[in-house]
Each structure stands twice: as C-alpha cells, then as structure tokens.
A and B are shown apart, each in its own frame.
Chain A
Amino acid sequence: MIKRQITLTVNGRDHEVWVVPSDSLLDVLHDELGMADVRYGCGEGVCGTCTVLLDDEPVNGCLTLAVQAAGHRVTTLRGLMGPGEEMHPLQECFLRRGASQCGFCTPGMILTALDLIRRAGRPTRDEIRYALVGNLCRCTGYTKILDAIEEYADQ
C-alpha cells in the first residue's frame, strides 16, 4: 500500500507522519512517535491499555485508524501532565494508594477515570467500576485503583 503523509495533533503538538491507510492509531503513536504511554494489549478493544482521547473522548487506539485521527485532537496521558513531567493529581493519588504496580494499565485507567469524573463529578464506587469495566489490571485487584479515583474525585 502507498504511504501518505498526514498531520496528527497529539498532546497539542503537530506531527507530520507517513502512514499506510491500514496503520492503527496505536501503531503510529507507539511505534512511529515513540509514545510509550499508549500500549498494545489485546487488539480487540477489550483491555483498555491503548486508550487515548480523541477530541476529549476515550477511544481504542487499536480500533482507530491513524488516518481517521487526522484533523482531530489526540491526547495521551502524557498530555495531561504539567510542565517538566509534573504528575497529574490523579497520578499522585495512584502512587499514594499503590494503585499502580507494573503500570501497564495505568494510562488507560487514568484517562478513562478522568473522562468519567469530567462528566459525572463525584461518581459512586459502582459508577467507577462500571466505567472501568473495559480496563483490565492483572496486578492490583482493582480495589486500590477505585480508592485512588475516589480520593481524587473528592478533592
């Protein structure tokens, strides 16, 4: 297939990238642009490790084509951090509560939780569970993740 050049706006910065039409957004962000906070997990939209925000809404990076993201705003977890790698307050809560062990699921967890809080304000624990049903964590058993998100939502 023929490569073509597109402009991807990621975390407020424009990137000129050459892609084939079948490249997923995940492939381009991770492999071409070196963004380690967007991760391949299942390739089926089930696990949540490739979560990015497309125009502020969480989507599956593995089920979106890179060419579909051209002309839209893409945000990864890194884009929510402050200047000089300053952590987002929800990341601080994750650290404080031990909600991150291997860390593979953490960016997706945080992006999904922030979308929920932006919409619902102070979600109940059950609402958090429901929103995170598509974000798998194999380390923590989820309890500490829920604790961290509740702590942040209370702030």
Chain B
Amino acid sequence: MLTETTREARILAGGQSLMPMLNLRLARPELLIDINAADQREPAIEGGMLRLPALTRHRVLLEHHLIREHCPLLTEAIRHVGNVRVRNRGTIGGSLAHADPTSEIGCCALATGAQVVARGPAGERTVPASQLFAGYWTTTLDPAEIITDVLIPAARPRPGWSFQEMVRRTSDFAIVAVAVTFNLAERSGDRASATVALAGVADRVVLADPGLVDDDPDQTAARIAGSLDPPDDVHASGAYRRRLARVLVARALREASARAAAR
C-alpha cells in the first residue's frame, strides 16, 4: 500500500505517539495504514539473539520472562515509558520508527547493539540501531520500508547494565536518559568494556564514542559530556542537559560495573 499510493501515508502501530500528533494536528497524513492485526508473534530466542516482533507491546516487554532474563536493561527502561495505557498499546517497532530523540527504547537499542529488520519492495534487510536514526523523528529507512522485527544480542556472560533517567514529572519525556551495558574483562590483561548511549542530548539518540570510555567513571562521564552539544528547548537548557549527562553517565557506569562484578 505504501508503494501504491501517491498520497502521504503513515503506518499506525500502537498509535501512542502518532495519534497525539494527529490530535494536535502536528501530523496530517492522508492515509493511515493500521498494522495491528498483521502479526501475532511472541518474543523468542533465536541463535543468541532476542527476536522481538515489531508489534510487541511495551507491557509485554515489561513483563516477558525472556526479556527480563536476556535484556534486563530493557525491562528497567520500559518502566519509564509512558503510563499503563500507553504501555498497553505502544510497540517497540513503532517507537523505534518514531525516532524520538528522548526515546528510552532507542537509547537501549543503541546500548545493546540491537538491529532492526526492515522489509520493503526491494526485500528484507537488517539495519543496526547505530545507523537507524537520522534526526528529529526521522529514520534512515526508505518511506516504503517497514520494521518487522527488532533483534537484540542476548546478554553475554558476566554482563552489567544500567539505565538512568532524569524527568521533571514521572512518566514524562526524558530530559536526559543514559543506558549502559558493561562487560568485565574475561581474562587478566583484557580491559573491561562499556557501551554508553544517551537520549535527550541531540537531534536523535546517540552512542558515545567508545574511545572516550576507560576505567574511571568520572573521567569517562566528563569526557562524554564534553563531547556533547545538546540543544536548548523549553524543558531544559543545553548546559543543564550536558551537566545531567555527566552525572547520569557516571552513575550508570558505577551501577553497571557493580552489577557485572556481582554476577
């Protein structure tokens, strides 16, 4: 249908971002294509990957045992998404396609090295989350492509993780959110490695440069915060967001490494 129409069309998944935009007249597509009945699959583990069908609702992400077991970072982050009603309808594929720069889910997708499976007229392809986001509410996907699955590497041995977020009001959009995954050194001589993703600090969710990460959480956080140039908006100034990034990254690195060490 996306290829057959010349009119502006939008895909309607859970509708918890698109419908408010319609109600506020921020989006005025001529066609809405409701995909809610298109797929009834459940989350599954396949070849070391957590496979989440795009229509997996946030409530399922929050409660599903496979996600709690293999990606507890996501379980924790989803607690910060919307409210009960939003989580009952909102979907992981819709959330990633919406590409909000403050998205908790987008932040986790970056920190876990997730990929999305996109299907279009030319067939199916896999897009790493690190190449998915193009700017404010914009992805790199072709307009005729649709996300069908999200693949998240199942937690490796001895992983640590942390999700930190600052909001004005509980359940509101993040001012800044930070997701960290952390791997202890497997052998002596190896370095521990951390992946740091941030939301609310740019026109999209971003991965921190791995070269800025070392063993000292405070110095790492200061370097990452220093590399950011967050925009000012009505919710917070850029300077405040940079300061939050520094505090939250340090907190997240400490918690993630403590979790990894405790396992």
Q: How far is the CB of A10 from chain B (nearest CB, A)?
A: 17
Residue A100, interface by CB 8 Å: no
Among B17-25, B114-122, B145-153, B155-163, the stretch that binds chain A is B17-25
**How many A-B residue pairs lie within 8 Å, measured between CB atoms?**
71
A107 within 8 A of B: no
What is the interface size of chain A, counting residues whose CB is below 8 A from a CB of the partner? 28
CB distance from B49 to the nearest CB of A (A): 28
Query: How far is the CB of B16 from the nearest CB of chain A, in Å?
Result: 6
User: At the interface with chain B, which of A52-60, A78-86, A137-145?
Assistant: A52-60
Interface residues of A (CB under 8 A from B): 21-22, 24, 43-46, 48, 51, 54, 57-60, 62-65, 67-68, 112, 115-116, 130-131, 133-135
Determine the chain B residues whose CB is within 8 A of the CB of A65 once the complex forms: 12, 15, 19, 34
User: Is the Cβ of A45 less than 8 Å from the Cβ of B86?
Assistant: yes
Pair A45/B24 contact, Cβ less than 8 Å:
no
User: Within 8 Å CB of B12, what residues of A?
Assistant: 65
Query: B residues 5-41 with Cβ under 8 Å of A?
Result: 12, 15-16, 19-20, 22-24, 32, 34, 36
Q: Which 3 A/B pairs are nearest by Cβ-Cβ distance?
A: A134-B83, A63-B19, A43-B23
Residues on B facing A (Cβ under 8 Å): 12, 15-16, 19-20, 22-24, 32, 34, 36, 59, 82-86, 88-89, 170-171
Closest partner residue, chain B, to A61 (CB atom)? B85
Rounded to whole Å, the gap between the CB of B64 and the closest CB of chain A is: 14
Determine whether the beta carbon of A63 is less than 8 Å from that of B15: yes
| Residues of chain B contacted by A46 (CB below 8 angstroms) | 83
Q: Give the residue name and chain of the A residue nearest to B169 (CB).
A: A133
CB-based contact B84/A63 at 8 Å: no
Q: Do A64 and B89 have beta carbons less than 8 Å apart?
A: yes
Shortest C-beta distance, B219 to chain A (Å), equals 35
